[in-house]
Amino acid sequence: MRVVEAFRGAFGADPETVWHAPGRVNLIGEHTDYNDGFVLPFAVPWGVTAAVSRRADSTIRLLSLQAPGDPLTLTSHDQATGWSRYVVGVLDLLGDRVRGADIAVDGDIPQGAGLSSSAALEVSVASALNDLYDLGMTPMEVALLGQKAENDFVGMPCGIMDQAASALCEEGKALFLDCRSLGSRTIPLDLASHGLRILIIDTQVHHEHAGGEYAKRRAECESAARKLGVPALRDVTDLAGALDLLQGVERRRTMHVVTENHRVEALVGLLRAGAVTEIGALLNASHLSLRDQYEVSSPELDVAVEAAVRGGARGARMTGGGFGGSAIALVAEDRLRSVQDSVTSAYAERGFQPPRFLPATPARGAHRLS
């Protein structure tokens, strides 16, 4: 394993443990996690592998194969910058329960595709430390630790979806997660026997203002919930009544969150009934809601979705936080070529840089490799 060789080269010994944690795509349930709602992600076959050993002192030595150079040597947590914050954030939260560590990481998640490489990094390192120090954390506790590291140490106010997907997913299945109770259930996602694939369309564009817009959406939802007198938008039962009490942006955000939660439940119902071929309309409706009510899409994502459907996809939507990143399309195997051609030529016509296509097969969540 490449990461083990790099660890040995940098730190002069074998790592005590090696863990892999995947990235994710979200099938449906976007911007619902921090509204205490429902999500339905699955893990992708790419992720982060972390080789880790404990140290007797409190020093942290870090090496990333994606950021070549000497290992970083940190003697205090506030020295962390850039990617190292995701790792040091995890160690920081574990406090006295851990000492220092030697860590080498290797990732193969396509860069900038919005497939949660940061969650994979947090979860791989947290899982390895949980194992080495016998901390007894459940996969959900590992996910919560990763989320808290990202919220408190990196300053990104994300919900729990990405870390939970990375920690809990199972091969061939999607993860139906209630982000309030944190109860979850895996749902078989049997695409192959229906001749279907989920195609990731990576726009290769990531807008700079995404972080600020994300925090703004969260604040708008919290403000709307306060005005409606409910703990979170998940609790809105009378949508028409709620919309009467709100205006402008808060009205649109509420419309999206409430209807998106219903779409997640409807999609889960179809999957449980073995009707995966029928989920396309829900994917399309989710995209329109994210575009028009939640306003987190981008021209590249809209063109990808429209061209995919025109090319024969059964449905398509942006996935993840938005403002760039990736879309997913549900495509019959015999339409893969025409969908890709349709998106590629629509991009060329608009003068966008060519998209990248990746097949998404539901993969296994965090696990120990050695």
**Residue 112 is assigned to a ligand binding site:** yes
- Based on CB atoms, which residue is closest to ligand GAF, 3 or 282? 282
- Based on CB atoms, which residue is closest to ligand GAF, 91 or 158? 158
- Based on CB atoms, which residue is closest to ligand GAF, 259 or 338? 259
**Residue 32 is assigned to a ligand binding site:** yes
State yes or no: residue 36 binds ligand GAF (CB under 6 A): no
Active site residue 162: yes
234 closest CA partner among 76, 29, 5: 29
State yes or no: residue 34 binds ligand GAF (CB under 6 A): yes
Which 318-337 residues touch ligand GAF, going by CB under 6 A? 320-321
State yes or no: residue 162 binds ligand GAF (CB under 6 A): yes
Q: Which of 31, 85, 252, 256: binder of ligand GAF (CB under 6 A)? A: 31
State yes or no: residue 158 binds ligand GAF (CB under 6 A): yes
Catalytic one of 36, 102, 106, 162: 162
- Based on CB atoms, which residue is closest to ligand GAF, 92 or 162? 162
Q: Which of 22, 33, 225, 228: binder of ligand GAF (CB under 6 A)? A: 33
Nearest-approach distance from CB 332 to ligand GAF, in angstroms:
27
Nearest-approach distance from CB 218 to ligand GAF, in angstroms:
8
Nearest-approach distance from CB 207 to ligand GAF, in angstroms:
14
Interacting residues with ligand GAF (CB under 6 A): 26, 30-31, 33-34, 158-159, 161-162, 320-321
Which sequence positions are flagged as catalytic?
Answer: 162
The annotated binding site is made up of 30-33, 64, 112-118, 150, 214
